[in-house]
Structure formats: C-alpha cells, structure tokens
C-alpha cells in the first residue's frame, strides 16, 4: 500500500494519533485534521521518523462549509478516509440531559461523519482498493446508560456505514466501521470518571482491562487493507468481550 494517501479526522490524539502512525509505517502519506491550530509536534516527528509526512489542517468536521473548503483546496485523490473525530458528552440521565450538549454531540459525531464522507467521496479512488473506515463504538451496538446522545450518534454511524457500503460497493469503495469498547484515550480521561466507576467498567469487561489506541488503529488499518478486500458493511467489535456477555 506504498505511496498511498489516508485522511484521518481527530488525528492529534488517541485513536487518530495511533492510526496515523500505523498508516505511516505502511508507507502512506498522512492528511490529518483536528481542532488544534497546529499538528501535535510529537506525532509529526514520529511520522517523519517512519519516512512519511503529515499534511495537517485545522478543521471542525461539524461545519459543512469548512469541510467543503478543505476538500476544494485538497484537490487530489485519496485512498482511505478514517472518520475518527468524535466527542462523548456528559454522563447524565436522559431526563436531565442538556439539549445543547445533545445537539453538539450529534453535530460532531453524526453530521461530521456525513460531511466528511459526502465531500470526500469525489476524491476517493474508484479502483476497488479505496475504503472508508468509521470509528463507531460498542455504544452503537448496545445501549449506554446516561449517554443518550453518544449512543444515538454511534448507532447512527453504524447505520450510515451499512448504507454507504451498499451504495458504493459496485464502484469499488468499501465502507466499514470499528466499534471499540472502553479504550485508554483522552476521551476516557476527560470523562473524569470516579475511580470506583472506572474499576467497574474494567470489571464488566471479560478481559479485565481497557483497550489501547494501538489495538483499535490496527483494526482500522486491517479494514482498509487489501487483506479485507471482501469485507464491506461490517462493524468490527473490539471490546475485550464486553458485548459477548
């Protein structure tokens, strides 16, 4: 997969960061977007050490106009789109859930995926080797108490993944998703969970640990690679057995 190009949203940390590194290791040029003004300098150095490069832009995926302007300037073909940008929101029961928070989460997690995908499609190569990988969640497969907006948004991502896979299979674009369980990323840290609650989440996972970003990134790369050439419309669960119970 040398000399190919991957576009990753939410590239500066967590799963996006790890995904950039694994694609760089495999010879891809990285096009990364995030909300920060500049690319994470450590990521940039690591990508360079892998004999690759990263072209970074500040971008809010929830802003359709911004995304459109980005693709107009991009003006090149890409091989893989990874829709990774997402936010969790507060942990609150539905009756008390803030409407503004609900709207924001759907703007980023649902509309953001729609914006990026719709506007990236004309730039994806039509050669039976290009693909889109969406980062959903186990919260898109089962209910997630006290996270009505996040669960709704990730169920939507799963539905969009399957719809896109059907629509674009004939022209050679595969569309899949990963559904991580609890993973050690900034999102989990920023949730500021009580120690007892964190330990409860680990206990609820049969493997008795959280995942790490590199494990999710490896699955994303697999789905984008030619080793998954007959896989489309699939949502790969990576959760230490959580949803097998």
Q: What is the pLDDT of residues 192-238, one digit of tens each?
A: 567 787 788 888 899 999 999 999 999 999 999 999 999 999 999 99
Q: Give residue 185's pLDDT.
A: 79
CA 138 to chain centre: 13
Confidence of residue 1 (pLDDT cuts 50, 70, 90): very low
Domain 5-235 grouped into CATH 3.30.420.10: no
Q: Is 150 a catalytic residue?
A: yes
Question: In this predicted structure, what is the pLDDT of residue 188?
Answer: 64
Which class for 62: exposed (0-12), middle (13-18), buried (19 or more C-beta within 10 A)? buried
Provide the residue ranges of all domains of the chain, joining segments of one domain with +.
5-235
Active-site residue, from 70, 150, 168, 221: 150
pLDDT in tens, 41-63: 999 999 999 999 999 999 999 99
Taking the whole predicted model, whether its pTM rises above 0.75 is answered as yes
Listed in sequence order, the residues at least 6 apart from 79 whose beta carbon sits closer than 8 Å to its beta carbon are 1, 4, 5, 6, 28, 124, 125, 129, 130, 131, 224
From residue 220, alpha-carbon distances to 31, 181, 190 in Å are 16, 14, 23
């Amino acid at each position: 997969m040398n000399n190919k190009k991957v576009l990753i949203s939410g590239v500066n940390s967590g799963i996006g960061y790890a995904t950039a590194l694994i694609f760089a290791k495999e010879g891809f040029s990285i096009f990364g977007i995030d909300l920060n003004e500049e690319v994470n300098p450590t990521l940039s150095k690591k990508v360079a050490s892998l004999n690759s490069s990263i072209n970074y832009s500040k971008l809010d995926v929830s802003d359709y106009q911004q995304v459109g302007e980005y693709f107009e300037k991009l003006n090149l073909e890409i091989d893989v789109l990874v829709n990774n940008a997402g936010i969790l929101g507060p942990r609150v029961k539905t009756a008390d859930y803030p409407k503004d928070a609900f709207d924001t989460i759907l703007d980023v997690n649902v509309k953001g995926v729609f914006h990026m995908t719709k506007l990236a499609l004309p730039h994806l190569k039509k050669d039976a080797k290009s693909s889109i990988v969406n980062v959903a969640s186990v919260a898109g497969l089962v209910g997630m108490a006290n996270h009505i907006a996040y669960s709704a948004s990730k169920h939507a991502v799963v539905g969009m993944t399957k719809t896109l896979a059907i629509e674009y299979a004939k022209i050679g674009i595969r569309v899949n998703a990963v559904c991580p369980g609890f993973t050690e990323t900034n999102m989990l840290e920023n949730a500021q969970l009580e120690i007892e609650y964190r330990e409860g989440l680990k206990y609820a996972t049969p493997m008795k640990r959280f995942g790490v970003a590199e494990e999710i990134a490896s699955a994303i790369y697999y789905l984008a690679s030619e080793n998954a050439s007959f896989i489309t419309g699939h949502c790969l669960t990576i959760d230490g057995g959580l949803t097998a119970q």
